[in-house]
């Protein structure tokens, strides 16, 4: 089906359902005074997000179209008729697309969601037979073990997120989590983490991305339903994970500490209250005057491989991810800086295409393989913008 036809169909479903946009104002709830002082000192009173100010239907069409493109892209194909699940397109899609289901009057996962879940499930079931995403033979030393570590975490995260919707832990998700813990390193300074793909690409495939991967593993474990976290079989694994994250947190970039903050919302014992407040304050202090966040300001002095300058303006990925994480950790939608971030997102969706724009930290658009690959950061940006804008207000 062509994109235009898809958009018309989804818009019609939305009109039929009578969408109520979820970014309406929530009642103010109390939080720590430190973050309130930061907002008062640096920001004007936040704008109110107007009703129907972002297009959920167009966002769904964009995400569906991009998921389809990824699953059909020859470079994403892997053995046993499967495809790689990417940190920029496939995984964010799996996390965010269900959030649009109610608004679009969908009673079940979309066709592309189902295809992605089936792909992950197949690779989990064939874990000892299926080839890794990359191997030492074709991509250099350590790529086999890095692929296994990375995929084990991403598989568990995707399936646990799906199970959490229904509140029941499936056998396939148990297997994915088992595979994940089996890949966890147990010794040395990196004990507690996973070998993670390193292709010298920020923010997900750089030399410091082991930390990001470990944070995602904690999110996966904490998302799994039926009190999975209290399973005595994983007690030592969690202990190792907690020690690793605390041991390395001070050396991380702000965007990696944001991932740790997200993990602590799912596994509360990861951080003590003072550590949590410190990361929240750090992220709030990085907010731009227009209410958004800039990804380039969250990754230290990272330089692009093509020598072009970084974009320093607010972007959809940084704003969506940070605003989502802050809400996950307990800041209410009415917190002044969260509200400012949500207002930025509502005002900066590309209409009528439905996406939020972001940019690569590694090369500019002209140096991408194709127009399709140049949209990778937009894919992640759109997914996290959707998650931020659809996070329920606390009761």
Domains of the chain with CATH codes: 3-390 (1.50.10.20)
At residue 18 the predicted structure's pLDDT band, cuts being 50, 70 and 90, is very low
Percent of the chain exceeding pLDDT 70 equals: 86
Average pLDDT, the chain: 88
* pLDDT of 21 over the 60 cut: no
Instruction: Tell me the CA end-to-end span of the chain in Å, nearest whole number.
Output: 41
Asked if residue 277 lies in contact with residue 284, where contact means CB atoms within 8 angstroms, the answer is: no
Upstream peptide bond of 352 is cis (omega within 30 degrees of 0): yes
Mean pLDDT value of segment 259-272: 97
**pLDDT surpassing 90 at residue 333:** yes
How confident is residue 255, by pLDDT bands cut at 50, 70 and 90?
A: very high
- The per-residue pLDDT for 352 is 83
Q: Is the pLDDT of residue 355 over 80?
A: yes
Residue 103's pLDDT is what? 80
**What DSSP string runs through 166-213?**
HT---HHHHHHHHHHHHTS--SSTTTTS-----SSBTTTBSTTHHHHH
Distance CA 389, CA 391 (A): 6
Burial status of residue 198 (CB atoms within 10 A of its CB: 0-12, 13-18, 19 or more): middle
DSSP 361: S
Indicate the range of 2-16, 47-61, 103-117, 303-317 predicted with least confidence: 2-16
- The number of C-alpha atoms within 13 Å of 46 and in the hemisphere containing its C-beta is 26
**pLDDT of 286 strictly over 60:** yes
Q: How many CA atoms lie within 13 A of 79 on its CB side?
A: 10
Q: Average pLDDT in the 19-30 region? A: 30
pLDDT score recorded for residue 50: 52
Lowest pLDDT segment from 19-23, 134-138, 296-300 = 19-23
Give the least confident one: 48-52, 243-247, 329-333.
48-52
pLDDT value at 2 more than 50: no
Average pLDDT over every residue of 285-289: 98
Res 30 pLDDT > 60: no
The answer to whether residue 191 scores a pLDDT higher than 80 is: yes
How high is the pLDDT of residue 9?
45
- pLDDT, tens digit, 9 for 90 and up, residues 126-151: 999 999 999 999 999 999 999 999 99
> Would you say residue 15 has pLDDT above 50?
no
pLDDT for 351: 84
Q: pLDDT band at residue 94, thresholds of 50, 70 and 90?
A: very high
Rounded CA-CA distance 151/130 in Å is: 12
pTM over 0.95: no
Question: Which one has a higher pLDDT value, 289 or 7?
Answer: 289
Helix-then-strand count for the chain, H and E:
15, 2
The answer for residues whose C-beta is within 8 angstroms of residue 217's C-beta and 6 or more apart is 153, 156, 157, 180, 184, 194, 241
Of 385, 375, 265, 257, nearest to 319 (Cα)?
A: 385
Identify the pLDDT of residue 16: 40
Looking at residues 183-194, what average pLDDT do you find? Answer: 97
Question: Which range has the worst mean pLDDT, 67-76, 99-108, 223-232?
Answer: 99-108
β-pair type (82-83, 77-78): antiparallel
Residue 331 contacts residue 276 (beta carbons within 8 Å): no
pLDDT score at 372? 85
Query: Whose CA is closest to 193, among 216, 176, 173?
Result: 216
The pLDDT value given to residue 43: 38
Average pLDDT over residues 173-179: 98
pLDDT tens for each residue of 361-388: 999 988 888 888 989 999 999 999 999 9
């Amino acid at each position: 089906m062509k994109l235009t036809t898809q958009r018309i169909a989804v818009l019609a479903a939305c009109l039929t359902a009578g969408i109520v946009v979820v970014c309406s104002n929530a009642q103010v709830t109390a939080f720590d005074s430190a973050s309130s002082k930061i907002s008062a000192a640096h920001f004007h009173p936040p704008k109110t997000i107007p009703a129907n100010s972002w297009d959920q239907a167009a966002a769904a069409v964009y995400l569906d179209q991009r998921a389809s493109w990824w699953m059909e892209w020859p470079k994403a194909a892997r053995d046993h008729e499967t495809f790689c699940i990417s940190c920029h397109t496939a995984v964010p899609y799996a996390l965010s697309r269900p959030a649009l289901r109610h608004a679009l009057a969908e009673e079940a996962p979309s066709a592309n969601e189902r295809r992605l879940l089936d792909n992950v499930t197949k690779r989990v079931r064939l874990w000892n037979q299926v080839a890794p995403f990359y191997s030492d033979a074709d991509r250099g030393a350590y790529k086999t073990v890095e692929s296994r570590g990375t995929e084990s975490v991403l598989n568990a995260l995707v399936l646990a997120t799906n199970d959490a919707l229904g509140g029941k832990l499936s056998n396939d998700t148990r297997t994915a989590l088992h595979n994940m813990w089996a890949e966890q390193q147990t010794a040395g300074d990196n004990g507690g983490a996973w070998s993670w793909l390193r292709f010298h690409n920020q923010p997900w495939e750089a030399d410091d991305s082991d930390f990001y991967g470990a944070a995602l593993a904690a999110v996966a474990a904490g998302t799994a339903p039926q009190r999975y976290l209290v399973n005595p079989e994983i007690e030592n694994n969690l202990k190792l994970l907690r020690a690793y994250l605390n041991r390395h947190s001070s050396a991380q970039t702000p965007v990696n500490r944001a991932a740790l903050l997200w993990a602590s919302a799912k596994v509360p014992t990861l951080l003590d209250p003072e550590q949590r407040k410190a990361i929240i304050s750090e992220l709030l202090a990085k907010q731009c005057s227009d209410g958004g966040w800039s990804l380039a300001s969250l990754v230290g002095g990272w330089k692009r491989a093509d020598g072009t300058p970084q974009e320093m303006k607010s972007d959809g990925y940084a704003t969506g991810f940070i605003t989502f994480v802050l809400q996950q950790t307990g800041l209410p939608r009415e917190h002044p800086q969260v509200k400012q971030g949500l207002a930025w997102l509502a005002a900066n969706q590309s209409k009528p295409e439905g996406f939020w724009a972001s940019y690569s930290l590694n090369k500019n658009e002209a140096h991408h393989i194709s127009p399709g690959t140049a949209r990778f950061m937009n894919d992640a940006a759109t997914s996290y913008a959707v998650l931020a804008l659809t996070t329920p207000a606390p009761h």
